[in-house]
């Protein structure tokens, strides 16, 4: 298993958490991102931004959660 495979697994895991839990899931993933470096922030925030475009998330709440 290469680095690309690991990143895809982490991306799929993060997407599942965010889709299932919503804002608390986003907070949880961002917390883990700071504690466990393998979770790339380049996956988490763009995913949240794309969910803003679809209407699932609000940009203001994403900004607040990312600052926490």
pLDDT tens readout for residues 2-55: 767 877 787 788 888 888 998 898 888 888 877 876 666 677 788 888 888 888
- The one-character DSSP state at 22 is -
User: What is the Cα–Cα distance from 22 to 8, expressed in whole angstroms?
Assistant: 20
Range of the domain at 54: 3-67
Q: Is 1 helix (H, G, I), strand (E, B) or coil?
A: coil
Q: Given this model, what pLDDT does residue 33 score?
A: 79
pLDDT tens readout for residues 55-68: 888 889 988 888 88
CA distances from 14 to 18, 24, 68 (A): 6, 12, 18
Q: Given this model, what pLDDT does residue 24 score?
A: 92
- Residue 7: partners with Cβ closer than 8 Å, 6 or more residues away: 40, 43
Length of the chain: 68
């Amino acid at each position: 298993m290469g680095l690309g495979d690991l990143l895809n697994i982490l991306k799929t895991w993060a997407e599942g958490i965010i889709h299932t839990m919503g804002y608390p899931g986003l907070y949880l993933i961002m917390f883990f991102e700071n504690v466990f470096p393998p979770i790339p922030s380049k996956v988490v925030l763009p995913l949240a931004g794309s969910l803003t475009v679809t209407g699932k998330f609000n940009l203001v709440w994403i900004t607040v959660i990312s600052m926490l």
